[in-house]
Amino acid sequence: MEKNQHISSPDIPVIDLCSPDEELVAIAVVKASQEWGIFQVVNHGIPTELILRLQQVGKEFFELPETEKEAILKVETHGWIISFTASGHRLESTTNSGLRILESTLNEEYASHIKKLSEKIMEWLSEGLGLRRLRREALKEGLGGETVEYLMKINYYPPCPDPELVVGAPDHTDVNGITLLVANEALGLQAFKDNQWIDAKYTTSGIIVIIGDQFLRMSNGKYKSVEHRAKMDKEKTRISWPVFVESSLDHVFGPLPELITGDENIPNFKPYVYKDYKFRKLKKLLLE
């Protein structure tokens, strides 16, 4: 293909969770996870008003002075981190008054919705592995059951005069099981598919679902851990709120045992303690 040749790229799948036929919804979720590893869900049951409030407090948070922000949340290279346990309670506590704007009621309310939604998606994905009758909860259990953690990060991308020169979030796959992300009106998320970067189109109340490495490995390769990145916008500030659903650090994960049934179904991946897997990935060490 010529380098400058224009090809029209497909859009990432959009799945309406309100469709009356749940089986069709489940099939669409499984297909999108196999072929894309990323999709947007709409009519997902999380009130738009709650998502807008989350976005509003996120904006207010970034208007705080740097020192206050840092005192409230953990700063990482590409964002601010807040974590929840599976029951929706914040893991890290702080007494800083600035936390009012990220007050736990809002986050706990959002976390409990995200937990419900992610569990539903995990059920559909477990069924999609042929584990319907016995193990609807197979993926959730494989991830650690009630010890599963929900880590919310806030990514802030200020306007950038030359977005081609500055990368927002570099090309990566998520290390965890599944990520559920909302973003403000500035687009910028891209997914790599069929040798090209595809702009993810979404609405501010839609939820982007991203399959990560843990689900690639637990499904023995059936679900795709999608490469993605985020670009900066020339004029607009972009903010995104991913929630990473993942094992606790000492949990061992690998291909689900039910999928390994004999000579034809051998494990394609080695099991890892999650913290070792994260460490190896971070250090770019060999992963089998």
- Residues forming contacts to ligand AKG in the complex (CB under 6 A) are 78-79, 153, 155, 169, 174, 181, 183, 189, 228, 230, 240, 242
| Residue nearer to ligand AKG on the CB measure, 136 or 278 | 278
Q: Is 274 helix (H, G, I), strand (E, B) or coil?
A: helix
Residues with a catalytic annotation lie at: 153, 172, 174, 228
CA distance 264 to 194: 28
Nearest to 244 by CA among 196, 188, 172: 172
Question: In Å, what is the CA distance from 102 to each residue of 41, 59, 276?
Answer: 25, 10, 31
Which residue, judged by CB position, is nearest to ligand AKG in the bound state? 240
Q: Is 246 helix (H, G, I), strand (E, B) or coil?
A: strand
Beta-carbon contacts of 166 under 8 Å, excluding residues fewer than 6 positions away, are 160, 232
| Least distance in angstroms from the C-beta of 189 to ligand AKG | 4
Rg of the chain over all Cα atoms, to the nearest angstrom: 19
CA distance 225 to 172: 10
CA distance 237 to 170: 17
The two three-digit tokens of residue 262, written as one number: 């004999």
Beta-carbon contacts of 180 under 8 Å, excluding residues fewer than 6 positions away, are 114, 117, 118, 207, 208, 209, 210, 242, 243, 245
Which residues is 14 bridged to in the sheet? 40
Nearest to 209 by CA among 11, 21, 42, 61: 42
| Residue nearer to ligand AKG on the CB measure, 178 or 189 | 189
| Least distance in angstroms from the C-beta of 190 to ligand AKG | 9
